[in-house]
Amino acid sequence: MIRSFVKPDPGAKTLERLPQSSKADIERMANAAGLQLPEPLMQELCVSYPSFEAMVRRLPRSRNRFDEPAHHLVAPGRIDSIERQGHQEDLA
Amino acid sequence: MSEPLEYATVAGLLSLYRSRAVSPVEVAKHQFERIQSLEGSLHCFVTQTPEVAMARARQAEKDWQHGGAVEQNTRRLAGIPYGLKDVICTAGILTTGQSKILEHNVPDADAGVEMRMKESGGVLMGKLTTYEFAHGGPSWDLPWPPAMNPWKAGYLPGSTSSGPGAAVAAGLLPAAIGTDTGGSIRMPAANCGIVGVKPTYGLISRRGVLPNTFTFDTCGPMTRTVEDAALVLGAIAGYDDEDIGSVYHPPVNYLTDLNKGVKGVRIGWVRHWYDGDANCHPDVPPAVEKALEVLSGAGAIVEEIRLSDLLVYQDCKTTISITEMFSAYEHEFRTRPQDFGLMFRNKVLSGSLIRAEDYFQALRQRLWLGRELARAFREYDVIATAGWMTPADKARPDKLDKFLRPPNITTPFNIGGGPAMNIPCGFSQDGLPLSLQLAAAHFAEPMMFRVGHAYQQMTDWHTRHPTEGLIQ
């Protein structure tokens, strides 16, 4: 018997049902993001983005509201330490 | 001396220095001669540093003559030649990230990991080839050519720590420091037939390392044996107050448990990630299975287990990665996007369109997947799977790499954050190296090394060296 550590996914809902963004959609989003791309690079983005859009839409979307994101809790002491180093560099 | 000098291991060189059979200066000169003879075809170096190397080698000679510092472990790598992937900053030495963006960048400070290598007495031979900012594929439109695989002419060494992988495999260096964000140490280790270690996130300082993905980036050793990886990790591990991701962990002697064997060690075998996958080369599953039989024969308890599919891990990791990477290079994307290579642009520019809610859903998924791995490591000392799905790929300058590759078998352990290591476990029918991947719980590097070392004591894959791709 193969032991499984996979728990049933409570967030099985995804955004995969949404239609793929059109070239015009991608250009609008890029402009809204403040990117000023030369035309050839904008064309590259229009070709590459749909793969990434599909990836993002496969992510589970209905997690329990108490499911927190993985993040690195930085203790206040560490932030103080980094700030002190920055301050010393400023003085130098 | 059974091996030619260029293939002496780190442990072997230390032993030779101790017995005065050879000196660090002699070794540095010998290695530079080998680099000169092979670099024209392998392209492992962005920058060679002979003056730095000879100065450090002379200092190492003094260390060995006086003995004390070496024996007290403060100069534990005295006289060991090494290279740094060219995303690791070096004071006064060009550090480019293999990118036109930083083509003339000379940092004024060393990265934390280089500070430790220098303090340990290592001899810096140069800065090693990568992919642009340690991401993408081999781009053919950058100021430097990509590294090539010493096992076969015209083949690639694997992912972004490609120069380190090829240099160590070809006997240009006994050790190198690479970086691993989704498998960038382990993939070239697999494709070049060497050992590559991604340590626990936070164990090694990332200060001064050009970022790929802040929350996944790790530095780690690439060597020809597990023992050497343990030696190098012992020199570079440690808390750094100037790296916000650094984690304090009491100093560990990674050699202590090396020879304890695997009797009773519990190994969870994740076969479904590769066996039966359409992208998996047919020579890989039998090689991995045979490796586990070796460990089982030595007393390890090997049981097949199931984890989430690779695509689930990959979607989570890549969403986080391209978002963080775009944020790291946003200024240049806004001001001079055409100066990035095609491959990097194609894989990172889309990060500008990831919404905050998508990024956070990926981070929530990351915790969920991390917990899955933590549950597995409560029951198993080590997880084993294939090191990579295929032998080395052919170099195809005319072919654009896919925007999204098939899922990396290395990525799950970046999501989990614990240590993982690739070690050679055979060859394909074409004579290209294959690899076994071992992973352990957070900070359980000693157990991972113990299993890997036991395997290397029972096999000889790590003692074989390339010939076919070494065109002089």
Distances (CA, A) of B446 to B234, B255, B376: 11, 8, 18
- C-alpha distances (whole Å) from B330 to each of A36, B102, B334, B340, B342 are 12, 14, 6, 12, 16
The per-residue pLDDT for range A6-62, each reduced to its tens digit, is 987 765 799 999 999 999 999 999 999 999 999 999 999 999 999 999 999 999 988
Q: Rounded to 5 degrees, what are φ and ψ at B447? A: -70, -40
Percent over 70 (pLDDT), chain B = 97
Confidence of residue A72 (pLDDT cuts 50, 70, 90): low
Q: How confident is the model at residue A69 (pLDDT cuts 50, 70, 90)?
A: confident
- DSSP assignments along A40-84, one per residue: HHHHHHHHHHHHHHHHHHTS-----TT-PPP--PPPHHHHHHHHH
Question: Residues B32-66: pLDDT tens digits?
Answer: 999 999 999 999 999 999 999 999 999 999 999 88
Nearest to B349 by CA among B132, B112, B48, B36: B132
Contact B366 A51 (CB under 8 A): no
B347 interaction partners in chain A (CB closer than 8 Å): 48
- Look up the ipTM and state it: 0.89
Give per-residue pLDDT as tens, B415-462: 999 999 999 999 999 999 999 999 999 999 999 999 999 999 999 999
Q: What rounded mean pLDDT belongs to chain B?
A: 95
Q: Does A29 sit within 8 Å of B404, measured CB to CB? A: no
What span, in angstroms and rounded, lies between the C-alpha atoms of B380 and B372? Answer: 13
Q: Cβ(B189)–Cβ(B224) under 8 Å? A: no
b/e code B55-85 from CB counts within 10 Å (16+ = b): ebbbbbbebbeeeebbeeeebbbbbbbbbbb
A86-90, B59-63, B162-166, B344-348: range with lowest mean pLDDT: A86-90
Q: Which residue of A has its CA nearest to B245?
A: A72
| Residue B82 C-beta-side C-alpha neighbours within 13 Å | 34
Residues of A with CB under 8 A from a CB of B: 2-7, 11, 26, 29-30, 33-38, 41, 44-45, 47-49, 51-53, 55-56, 58-61, 63, 67-72, 74, 78, 81-82, 85
pLDDT class of B401 with cuts at 50, 70, 90: low
> Does B203 reach chain A within 8 Å, measured CB to CB?
no
Q: Is it the case that residue B93 has pLDDT exceeding 80? A: yes
Closest Cα to residue B184, out of B223, B139, B130? Answer: B130
Whether chain A has a CB inside 8 Å of the CB on B400: the answer is no
Given this model, what pLDDT does residue A3 score?
95
- The two three-digit tokens of residue B411, written as one number: 């990525």
- How far is the C-alpha of B423 from the C-alpha of B196, rounded, in Å? 7
Which two tokens mark A34?
């403040």
